[in-house]
């Protein structure tokens, strides 16, 4: 049985502390993670109240939009519309905090050994934040289209009664979002309730892969974490061996396919070399049976693909693409603003930049998802770097989304920056006897509602994007420096080359127990995902999975 913890009662491994101090440290470090105050091994996942509250807030916002659209006077419909925009921005902040809390609960669950449920709900728990972020991005795009299309008639259209009025469409969007969140949050709550009712032991202690399972049966203080680490190390070894066997079966089936399609040559004929392309796939993470899980160095299999290793050059390329787009938006806006392009309406630059930001957010999301699969390859060879780079990897999408929320929030103030004659909630609207009074109040509102009358819309949005670029650089500079260091370490010997390096038991044991559990959890998730892909491929080829 493989253990990832050193023996704290021995004097081996170059220890310089006395036995008593070492034992005290070990008791402190090995406080049980799985045990509760009643020595109960199962801790329920308490995220149902958070998801219920999130759904309640979304319902309240949709109901507020309906009330505002149905009860407020026509002259205040524009005000109601911007109140909904403020509520949307506040709802994103609440959702972001909610997502952080839920992730913390799921991370504790994963460190407690429940990898299957964590993997099953990994995307599910992130959907609410993605939905709210996407909805706010769409609202920003629609608000910009309305402002761009109506121009100086925006104040009149804003108070118009009809299905296409701004307050109606934003209420409809919020209602649709609530319906989607009702389905997502409801299914998540049902899954969590089933999981809590089952109260099963951690995955590594279940009898689901040929090992004797049963309950934990851990009564001595401090041994639960140690046994969990040991069991999960066995599970990792089992998954690697299982994936390797699946690879071998798939390769054998591919070899039979090659032999079947290779034409037979007649007797006495000179053999010729026939080159055919066949999809021979192999796991990118499995190790050969001769490779030890604890060895620091190993010779990679000859058939292993390079795609299994972390590619710092590829990560730097993704970083460069994203940074280039951010710089391009600021540069294009600055050049167009200085050149007064277009001459007919220089404020059109504002709309162009907002449209570019919508596309920029979509590209940022795609890069974020691609980085997630790339950086996870760094977890096994160098977990310290993986943990250190996690914040920098997640920052671009969070920053881009936050900046879109900021732009959505200030739309009521930005509209006063445009050189329009009618900026307010009224104007010369037919059928309204008090149109002149509304126009007069609109002028007063325009004078006092603007962020700064001397600032043009294009200058404002360029400054906002430039501030975003500065914040991005604060994260990208240390990230690029670390990636370059990793790249320089490749090809200078196996001791520093991450393509061949594996952490030893001593290096692993020197890390905090939470880090060890997190590292194992990441490996188990990756290996199980790989196993699922291999099993699907094996079934498509007719490979016997029971043999």
What is the residue-level pLDDT of the chain in tens, covering all 547 positions?
444 443 433 344 443 344 444 334 444 443 434 433 344 467 889 999 999 999 999 999 999 999 999 998 888 888 999 999 999 999 999 999 999 999 999 988 888 888 888 888 888 899 999 999 999 999 999 999 988 888 878 878 788 777 778 889 899 999 999 999 999 999 999 999 999 998 888 877 665 443 433 333 333 333 467 777 777 888 888 888 888 888 888 888 877 777 776 666 555 555 554 444 444 444 444 444 334 343 333 333 333 444 568 899 999 999 999 999 999 999 999 999 888 777 777 678 899 999 999 999 999 999 999 998 899 888 878 888 888 899 999 999 999 999 999 999 998 888 888 776 544 444 444 444 444 433 433 343 444 444 555 688 889 999 999 999 999 999 999 999 999 998 888 765 554 555 445 556 666 666 777 778 888 888 888 888 888 888 888 887 777 666 5
Environment class of 281 (CB within 10 Å of its CB; exposed 0-12, middle 13-18, buried 19+): middle
Q: Contact, 178 vs 58, CB < 8 A? A: yes
CA 327 to chain centre: 23
User: Angle 127-150/166-198 helices, nearest 10 degrees?
Assistant: 180
Type and span of the H or E element at 238: helix 223-261
Nearest to 347 by CA among 451, 422, 458: 458
Phi-psi map region of 544: left, alpha, beta (phi>0 left; psi -120 to 50 alpha): beta
Q: Contact, 401 vs 361, CB < 8 A? A: yes
Report the distance separating Cα 287 and Cα 197, nearest Å: 38
pLDDT for the residue 31: 41
Q: Hey, what are 332's tokens?
A: 């294009």
Q: Contact, 191 vs 120, CB < 8 A? A: yes
Q: Contact, 22 vs 37, CB < 8 A? A: no
Helix or strand or coil: residue 453? Answer: coil
CA 416 to chain centre: 36
Neighbours of 180 (CB within 10 A): 15
| One-character DSSP codes across 177-225 | HHHHHHHHHHHHHHHHHHHHHH-PPPGGGSSSSSS--------STTHHH
Helix or strand or coil: residue 297? Answer: strand
Please state, in angstroms and as integers, the Cα–Cα distance from residue 429 to each residue in 68, 153, 331, 432, 435, following that order. 21, 10, 41, 6, 6
Nearest to 206 by CA among 114, 323, 71: 114
Q: Please report, for the chain, how many H helices and E strands are present, in that order.
A: 16, 0
Helix or strand or coil: residue 85? Answer: helix
| Beta strand segments in 338-404, E | none
Q: Contact, 105 vs 46, CB < 8 A? A: yes
Report the distance separating Cα 501 and Cα 508, nearest Å: 13
Neighbours of 386 (CB within 10 A): 21
Q: Would you give the end-to-end CA distance of the chain in angstroms?
A: 24
Q: Hey, what are 517's tokens?
A: 């559990």
Neighbours of 471 (CB within 10 A): 16
Phi-psi map region of 113: left, alpha, beta (phi>0 left; psi -120 to 50 alpha): left
Residue in the block written with tokens 């080359």: 497
Report the distance separating Cα 464 and Cα 541, nearest Å: 54
Report the distance separating Cα 450 and Cα 37, nearest Å: 58
Helix residue ranges per DSSP H, 72-153: 77-111, 115-120, 127-150
Neighbours of 7 (CB within 10 A): 12
Residue in the block written with tokens 């769409």: 138
CA 425 to chain centre: 40
pLDDT for the residue 157: 77
Q: Contact, 153 vs 34, CB < 8 A? A: no
Helix or strand or coil: residue 258? Answer: helix
């Amino acid at each position: 049985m493989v253990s990832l913890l050193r023996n704290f009662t021995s004097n081996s491994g170059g220890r310089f502390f006395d036995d008593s101090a070492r034992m005290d440290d070990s008791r402190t470090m090995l406080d049980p993670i799985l045990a509760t105050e009643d020595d109960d091994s199962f801790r329920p996942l308490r995220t149902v109240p958070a998801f219920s509250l999130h759904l309640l807030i979304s319902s309240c916002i949709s109901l507020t939009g309906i009330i505002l659209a149905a009860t407020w006077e026509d002259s205040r419909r524009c005000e109601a519309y911007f109140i909904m925009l403020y509520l949307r921005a506040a709802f994103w902040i609440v959702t972001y905090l909610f997502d952080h809390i839920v992730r913390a609960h799921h991370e504790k669950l994963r460190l407690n050994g429940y990898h299957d449920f964590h993997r099953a709900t990994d995307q599910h728990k992130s959907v609410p934040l993605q939905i709210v972020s996407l909805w706010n991005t769409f609202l920003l795009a629609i608000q910009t289209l309305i402002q761009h299309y109506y121009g100086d008639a925006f104040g009149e259209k804003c108070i118009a009664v009809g299905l296409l009025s701004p307050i109606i469409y934003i209420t409809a969007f919020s209602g649709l979002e609530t319906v989607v969140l009702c389905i997502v949050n409801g299914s998540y709550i049902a899954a969590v309730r089933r999981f809590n009712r089952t109260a099963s032991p951690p995955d590594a202690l279940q009898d689901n892969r040929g090992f004797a399972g049963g309950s934990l049966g851990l009564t001595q203080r401090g041994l639960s974490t140690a046994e969990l680490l040991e069991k999960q190390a066995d599970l990792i070894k089992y998954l690697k061996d299982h994936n390797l066997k699946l690879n071998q079966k798939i390769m054998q089936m591919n070899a039979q396919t090659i032999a079947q399609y290779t034409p037979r040559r007649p007797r006495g004929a000179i053999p010729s070399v026939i080159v055919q392309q066949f999809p021979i796939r192999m796991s990118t993470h499995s190790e050969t049976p001769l490779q030890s899980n604890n060895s620091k160095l190993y010779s990679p299999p000859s058939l292993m693909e390079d795609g299994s290793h972390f590619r710092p050059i590829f990560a730097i390329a993704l970083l460069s693409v994203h940074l280039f787009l951010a710089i391009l938006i600021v540069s294009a806006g600055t050049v167009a603003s200085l050149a007064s392009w277009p001459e007919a309406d220089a404020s059109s630059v504002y709309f162009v930049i907002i449209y570019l930001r919508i596309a920029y957010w979509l590209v940022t999301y795609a890069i974020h998802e691609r980085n997630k699969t790339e950086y996870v390859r760094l977890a096994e060879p160098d977990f310290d770097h993986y943990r250190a780079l996690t914040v920098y990897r997640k920052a671009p999408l969070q920053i881009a989304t936050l900046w879109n929320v900021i732009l959505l929030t200030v739309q009521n103030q930005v509209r006063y920056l445009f050189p329009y004659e009618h900026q307010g909630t009224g104007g010369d609207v037919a059928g309204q006897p008090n149109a002149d009074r509304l126009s007069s109040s609109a002028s007063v509102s325009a004078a006092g509602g603007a962020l700064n009358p001397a600032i043009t819309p294009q200058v404002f949005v360029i400054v906002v994007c430039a501030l975003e670029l500065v914040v991005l650089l604060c994260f990208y500079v240390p990230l690029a420096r670390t990636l370059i260091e990793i790249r320089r370490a490749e090809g200078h010997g196996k001791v520093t080359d991450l393509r061949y390096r594996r952490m030893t038991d001593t290096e692993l044991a020197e890390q905090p127990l939470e880090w060890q559990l997190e590292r194992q959890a990441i490996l188990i998730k990756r290996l199980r995902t790989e196993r699922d892909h291999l099993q699907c491929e094996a079934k498509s080829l007719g490979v016997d999975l029971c043999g």
